[in-house]
Structure 1
Amino acid sequence: MLEFKDVCFNYGNGVPVLEHINIRIGPGEFIGLGGRNGCGKTTVTRLLMGLEKPVSGEILHDGKVINDDDASARSHYIGYVFQRPERQMFRSTVEDEVAYGPQQLGMSRDETAAAVAEALAMTGLSHLAKAYPPNLNRGEKQRVAIASAIAMHTSCIILDEPTSGQDSADKKMLMELLTDLNKKGMTILIISHDMDIFAQYCQRVIVIGNHTKAFDGTPQELFTQREDLYDLGLSRPESVALSMAVPGMKYCRSMKEFTEEMLRRIGGNR
């Protein structure tokens, strides 16, 4: 369990970035974090990681206040995948990169080798173990960063705009990987402007607006009940908009669901 209790933050100039934020993140959740550019989404995750410290309020992990714990301490249970994952890579091969975390945790050589092999297999990177990380494409680099978190046996992964700049095939591969990890019990928190991801994959969406938490609920509640999506820097996914426009149609999380529902209706009307 990760929790913000009445957290406030600014960058030392007195201008508030976040004010009185209260958030609880439970084990095994799949959460989307959204809002306008500059609203404080990334700041929330930097506070979670220990890259920033709150001005006031408390951040807790399993009930323990961790305000003073730095990023290295929190990396034991939180993995972070930056928007440009190559910035967090510095070793000459993929397997060496993934091995860095377990080595810092003090795992033995055999334990590290086993953790790396498992993480590479889970992320579909075994065939790239000897590859030079900068030569990989963006989707592969993100999977290396995810594998690094898996190898450390972290319970939560935070990803910053993981699908930006990716084609549909890479995006689908990444989201299927994250869904599989979530089914195995890992907590996933995604910062994104891609509303299709929120609708199709997330169980819960948190929206930051006006320096605080503006929404916290299911994607269906967000996209069908809120009339201020534009003000929050969001939009209604096409699948949701179309399903809402058809009388009596169920909420559709994706265009695939919408198409299947339309075909079912057409077939049933013959």
Structure 2
Amino acid sequence: MLEMKDVSFNYGNGVPVLEHINVKIGEGEFIGLGGRNGCGKTTVTRLLMGLEKPVSGEILYDGKVINDDDASVRSHFIGYVFQRPERQMFRPTVREEVAYGPQQLGMSRDEIRQAVDEALAATEMTELSEAYPPNLNRGEKQRVAIASAIAMHTKYIVLDEPTSGQDSEDKDQLMALLTDLNKKGMTILIISHDMDIFAEYCQRVLIIGNHTKAFDGTPQELFTQRDDLYDLGLSRPDAVTLSMAVPDFPYCKSMKEFTAAMLERMGGTRK
């Protein structure tokens, strides 16, 4: 369990970035983190990672206060995929890049080989194991970063805008990978402005607004019960909007679900 307990943060100028944040993140959750640009959502993840320190409040892992643990210590249980993943890569091959974390953990040579092989297989990067990371496309670089986290047996992984600038095929492949990892027990935390991802994939959504937690609940609750989506820098996904517009229609989290439900209704009408 990761927890932020009454956490506040600023950059030393007295201007609040976050105030009195209380959040618990359990193992095996799939969470979306959203809000307006500059609302502090990336700061939340940097505090969890140990890249920033709270001005007040506590960060806890399994009940232990970890405020003073830096990012290298926390990397044993939480991985981070930057919006530009090439910024976190510095080794000459994909295999060596993925092996770096296990080496720092002190694994044996055989353990490292096994961890890397399993991580590359899980992310479908085995065939590119000898490639030079900067030469990969963005989707492949993301998978290298995810493989690096898997090889360290990470329990949590944070991704910053992972689908921005991607075509629908790359987006679908990435989300399929993350869904599979989540089913195997890994906690996924995605920072995104893509409301379709929140609706279709996330079990829970956290929204930051006015320097604090403005919403914490299911995507359905967010998109059907809140009337301040625009104020929070959000929008309602098309599938949800359409399903809400049709009388006595079920909530649909994706256009695929909406199409299937509409075809079923039309078929029933014909009978």
TM-score by length of structure 2 reads 0.99
SS at match of 1:269: helix
Q: How does 1:138-157 map to 2 (within 5 A)?
A: 138-157=138-157
Match of 2:173 in 1: 173
Shift of 1:247: 0.3
Match of 1:91 in 2: 91
The runs of 4+ residues in structure 1 deviating greater than 4 Å are none
Match of 1:78 in 2: 78
Match of 1:104 in 2: 104
Shift of 1:213: 0.1
Match of 2:3 in 1: 3
Shift of 1:113: 0.6
Match of 2:255 in 1: 255
**Partners of 2:103 and 2:26 in 1: how far apart?**
28
Shift of 1:44: 0.1
Match of 2:30 in 1: 30
Match of 1:219 in 2: 219
2:50 counterpart letter in structure 1: G
Match of 1:119 in 2: 119
Shift of 1:228: 0.2
Shift of 1:98: 0.2
SS at match of 1:259: helix
TM-score by length of structure 1 reads 1.00
SS at match of 1:182: helix
Q: Does 1:132 align with 2:132?
A: yes
Task: For structure 1, list consecutive stretches of 5 or more residues without a partner in the other structure.
Answer: none
Task: For structure 2, list consecutive stretches of 5 or more residues without a partner in the other structure.
Answer: none
**Partners of 1:18 and 1:244 in 2: how far apart?**
34
**Partners of 1:88 and 1:165 in 2: how far apart?**
19
**Partners of 2:160 and 2:113 in 1: how far apart?**
28
Match of 2:242 in 1: 242
SS at match of 1:83: coil
SS at match of 2:193: coil
1:258 counterpart letter in structure 2: F
Shift of 1:164: 0.4
Shift of 1:168: 0.4
Identity value in percent: 83
